[in-house]
Chain A
Amino acid sequence: MTHPTTPARQEGPLLDGGGPGSGKSASGGGGGSPWSARLFRADVRTLSLIGVLVGLALIGGLTKPDAFLATSNVQLILTQASVIGVVTVGMTFVITSGGIDLSVGAIVALASVWATTVATQEYGFAGILFTAVIVGLGCGLVNGVLIAYGGMVPFIATLAMLASARGLALQITEGKTQMVTIPSVLDLGERDAYLLGIPPLVLVFAAVTVIGWLVLNRTTFGRRTVAVGGNAEAARLAGIDVRRQRLYLYLLSGLCCGIAAFLLIVLAGSGQNTNGNLYELDAIAAAIIGGTLLSGGRGTVTGSVLGVLIFITIQNIFALNNLESATQQIAKGAIIVAAVLVQRRTSHTP
């Protein structure tokens, strides 16, 4: 037994995650009205996101009943959410710690082109996967060292990484599209590879989500992340190695980008320096509408994933109804504003 159950577990569950899902388990504390009101609000946050998703599903189902509700469309939405979803899980950790990673899109681009060069492809499936992950980790390491030990502001350090990684990606490809020629990689993105109707990409996304949730809510690493984001000075004076934690967090974000790059290679069957365009903004937006505080100290993997699903579902509904991308962008902006307003309302305290 890795973690024995103790009597206390029954009599008073702890506040977990700070995520929207946390409310239910903390109700054991009972009593006081401000606290229970807070719980209620915490739950409202997740529920409102699920509500938005259900609302979108209704709109989709009403406007395009046969196309939207088809299994293949659900598979499509989840598949398309996978790449940006994995990036967003990493971003959620970074934002929770009070940081920001603007380089995620560029790292995805660099990892995806490095992993699809002719030289890399000679090593087959493993070569591509390994390269994507190592490039992601390497970029994360540079970010982490610059921020944690070089004292650079995350915004600037990752902005510099954004520029350099995009530049390097362009240099590698010279603007050309690098086709993947390894059949086992290509096959992974096709219908025959679905397990019980679930695309492998979605399985990876689900695994990253579950692991991300567990790490944030059930491990010392997650706890330290929240502590650093909530009050870095207090965390330092409490004996937490804040710098090492920051380094790990950017490594984690880089790792997620590497995984996402591999998923994108599988999905698109190629690597291109334009990959991951504006992922940083999508990932940040999804995390924020999910309920992660941009100032740090509170993060929710569940919320972030719901945020990603909302964005992708909107995109899907607009495409199915053959609406212009301009309208789609307007709707996306409106959703961000609405979600943040709802959260301000539900989490406002005097």
Chain B
Amino acid sequence: MAPEPPLPGAEPVTSADTPPLLTMSGITKSFPGVRALDGVDLEVRAGEVHCLLGQNGAGKSTLIKVLAGAHQPDGGRITWRGDTVTLKSPIAAMRLGVATIYQELDLVEGLSVAENVFLGHEPTAAGFVVRGREARNAAAGLLRRLGHPEIDPARLVGELSAAQQQIVSMARALSHDVRLIVMDEPSAALDPDEVANLFRIVADLTADGVAVVYISHRLEEIRRIGDRVTVLKDGRAVAGGLPAKSTPTRDVVALMTGRNVEYVFPERPARAALAEPLLTVRGLTRADEFAPLDLDVRPGEIVGLAGLVGSGRSEILETIYGARKPDAGQVHVDGRALKTGSVRAAVRAGLGLAPEERKAQALLMLESITRNVSVSSMSRFSRGGWLDRGAEFTAARRATRELSLKPDRPSAPVRTLSGGNQQKAVLARWLLRGCRVLLLDEPTRGVDVGARAELYAVIRRLADDGLGVLLVSSEVPEVLGLADRVLVLREGRVVHTAPARDLDEHRVLDLVMEGSPAS
């Protein structure tokens, strides 16, 4: 067995009183029309987990891109172990020992794991002949170290799951002589057990003296692994070096939002579910994805699907919606059977999907709010193919106002909106369409804490107006807080159904892990 390569950057753990590894002071950065960073200070010590918190648009992404050498700051000073440095390019940052793992992973899907890990610094013979075996062995060592020996270095990255790809990305970071790793929302696409592995890796790294800058929306994660916290708001650091474990949540939330809320779920109306089901699913199956599924959604009801990533949640929604063709089974809306495998039939019957990947699957990023809202209802504003843009505008604005979408300027391009407002634009699309059943896949992904409560209220209000809602979320508190009834999925199979108030987070987690109701 080949000896495991040691994790690079190993040096004695530094204590709080040694000089900081990195300081950034007074960093400013403007883009045309936007001041993204307005004098940010950040200090990171070797061996610590430094958490960066802030709502979307607070400047986190810009700051880490400056740190990664991808953006050049307009002003400010960066010092590295006491020396002033300029990070002219990503390569310069990498040479210093800064590695960044972006949320949208920057891997080449058509290359193997090993090739990705050593992309740009392949072990070579005679300067140009890539030594494939050596690269594979070294990659295998790194992957073992990261707790994922099952990933074959020779496999194509495109064939791996999102979580595995993240591990590859991390292996790539570690293949350099790294002293600081920036992780941008690393847990967003991970299941609880994978998150646990991630935390173990972070702990290993810091034990070796590597500093980690950790970005997450999940406060509980920050409590678990963070050492110190810097909070960004509107391009400024409103607080730096707060103790991660002991700062009260309400203080952190207040710093981020200026308000004192985190998860606030609307009240469930007390109501008897007497109405006939709007959406009926019977025996819907896709081999290898989910077992025959029966499901009802009544008007005014929010039904939640809880389960791990890979448990078939998104696949179920997409199959109901006709975006995937089922092997068997039927979907009825208002008692009428839908042509399976046809999105158009589903939309005509009154289904609407807010997909998981909002930017990739729902939005026309170059287009205005109006056009994004009206895209599914164009025939209503046209005669003989000719658009009545006045009517379109009025109707779209009515829908966006109903959801309090900000800004209230329907001609604004949708890509300038925050995540929460982009989600509202998608909901407004279905509202305008007059849809009867909403299928929501991770409706609050990428939506910052402050905007979530508002989105929850919107979803509940739509249900109160008589819509049926089928909700998928990997955040168990969200499903429990928002849904009336919860179906727990494990490996494509419903293992438990119960009213949301009869379940709690631990119970659901037990169910998704074990598959049988723990008692």
Chain A residues within 8 Å of B, Cβ to Cβ: 2-9, 12-16, 18, 26, 28-35, 37-38, 218-221, 223-224, 226-227, 230-231, 233-241, 293, 297-298, 348-350
A236 and B410 CA atoms in complex are apart in Å by: 23
Q: Any chain A CB within 8 A of the CB of B74? A: no
Q: Is the CB of B385 within 8 A of A221?
A: yes
A219 and B364 in contact, given A29-B411, A32-B407 (Cβ under 8 angstroms)? no
When distances are taken between beta carbons in the complex, the residues of chain A under 8 Å from B36 are 350
Q: Are B366 and A350 within 8 A (Cβ)?
A: no
Complex Cα distance A9/B323, Å? 36
B-chain residues with CB within 8 Å of residue A233 when the two chains form the complex: 360-361
Flag whether B375 is at the interface (Cβ < 8 A): yes
Known contacts A6-B391, A37-B33; decide if A218 and B386 are in contact (CB<8 Å).
yes
A15 touches B368 (CB 8 A): yes
Number of CB contacts from chain A to chain B under 8 A: 153
- Partner of A32 from B32, B355, B389, B412 at Cβ < 8 Å: B412
Beyond the given A14-B411, A32-B412, could you list 19 further A-B residue pairs with CB under 8 A, ordered by the A residue number? A8-B393, A14-B368, A14-B370, A35-B411, A35-B412, A37-B33, A219-B385, A219-B387, A220-B378, A220-B382, A220-B387, A223-B387, A226-B371, A227-B367, A230-B367, A233-B361, A237-B361, A238-B375, A349-B31
A31 touches B409 (CB 8 A): yes
Q: Check B390–A234 contact: CB distance below 8 A.
A: no
**Known A8-B397, A224-B378, A350-B36; contact A3-B411, beta-carbon cutoff 8 A:** no
**A31 cross-chain contacts in B, Cβ below 8 A:** 407, 409
B323 cross-chain contacts in A, Cβ below 8 A: 236-237
Bound together, the chains give a CA A31 to CA B411 distance in angstroms of 11
**Chain A residues within 8 Å of B34, by CB:** 34, 350
Partner of A12, one of B383, B384, B411, B429: B411
Structural contact, A29 and B361, CB atoms closer than 8 A: no
Q: Give every chain A residue within 8 A of B397 (Cβ-Cβ).
A: 8, 12
Between A and B, 23 residue pairs with Cβ closer than 8 Å are: A6-B390, A7-B390, A8-B390, A13-B393, A14-B410, A14-B411, A15-B411, A29-B410, A32-B409, A34-B34, A35-B411, A221-B385, A223-B387, A226-B367, A230-B366, A230-B367, A231-B364, A233-B361, A237-B355, A238-B375, A241-B344, A348-B32, A350-B34
Chain B residues within 8 Å of A235, by CB: 364, 375
- Contact flags B1-39 to A (C-beta < 8 A → 1, else 0): 000000000000000000000000000000111101000
Given the interface contacts A14-B393, A230-B365, A234-B362, does A223 sit within 8 Å of B375 by beta carbon?
Answer: yes
Instruction: Report how far A270 CA is from B32 CA in the complex, Å.
Output: 54
Chain A positions within 8 Å of B411 at CB level: 12-15, 26, 28-29, 35
| B321 and A234 contact, CB distance less than 8 A | no
- Which residues of B are interface residues toward A (Cβ below 8 A)? 31-34, 36, 321, 323, 343-344, 346-348, 353, 355, 360-368, 370-371, 375-376, 378-379, 382-394, 397, 407, 409-413, 416, 429
Residues of A within 8 A of B362 (CB): 234, 237-238
A14-B389 in contact (CB<8A): yes
Given the known inter-chain contacts A6-B391, A32-B409, please indicate yes or no for A350 contacting B363, CB distance below 8 A: no
Task: State A38–B364 Cα separation when bound (angstroms).
Answer: 17
User: A230 — which chain B residues lie within 8 A by C-beta?
Assistant: 364-367
Given contacts A15-B368, A226-B367, contact A34 B33 (CB under 8 A): yes
> Taking CB as reference atom, which chain A residue is nearest B364?
A230
Partner among A5, A15, A35, A37 whose Cβ is within 8 Å of the Cβ of B371: A15
Which residues of the other chain, B, contact A12 by a CB distance below 8 angstroms?
Answer: 393, 397, 410-411
- Give the CA-CA distance A8 to B409 in the complex, in Å: 13
Question: Do the beta carbons of A239 and B343 come within 8 Å of each other?
Answer: yes
Contact A15 B321, beta carbon cutoff 8 Å:
no
| Cβ-defined partner of A238 (8 Å) among B376, B379, B382 | B376
Would you call B367 and A239 a contact (CB within 8 A)?
A: no
Q: In the complex, what residues of A have CB within 8 A of residue B378's CB?
A: 220, 223-224
Which residues from chain A contact B344 at a C-beta distance below 8 Å? 239, 241
In the assembly, what is the distance between CA of A239 and CA of B410, in Å? 21
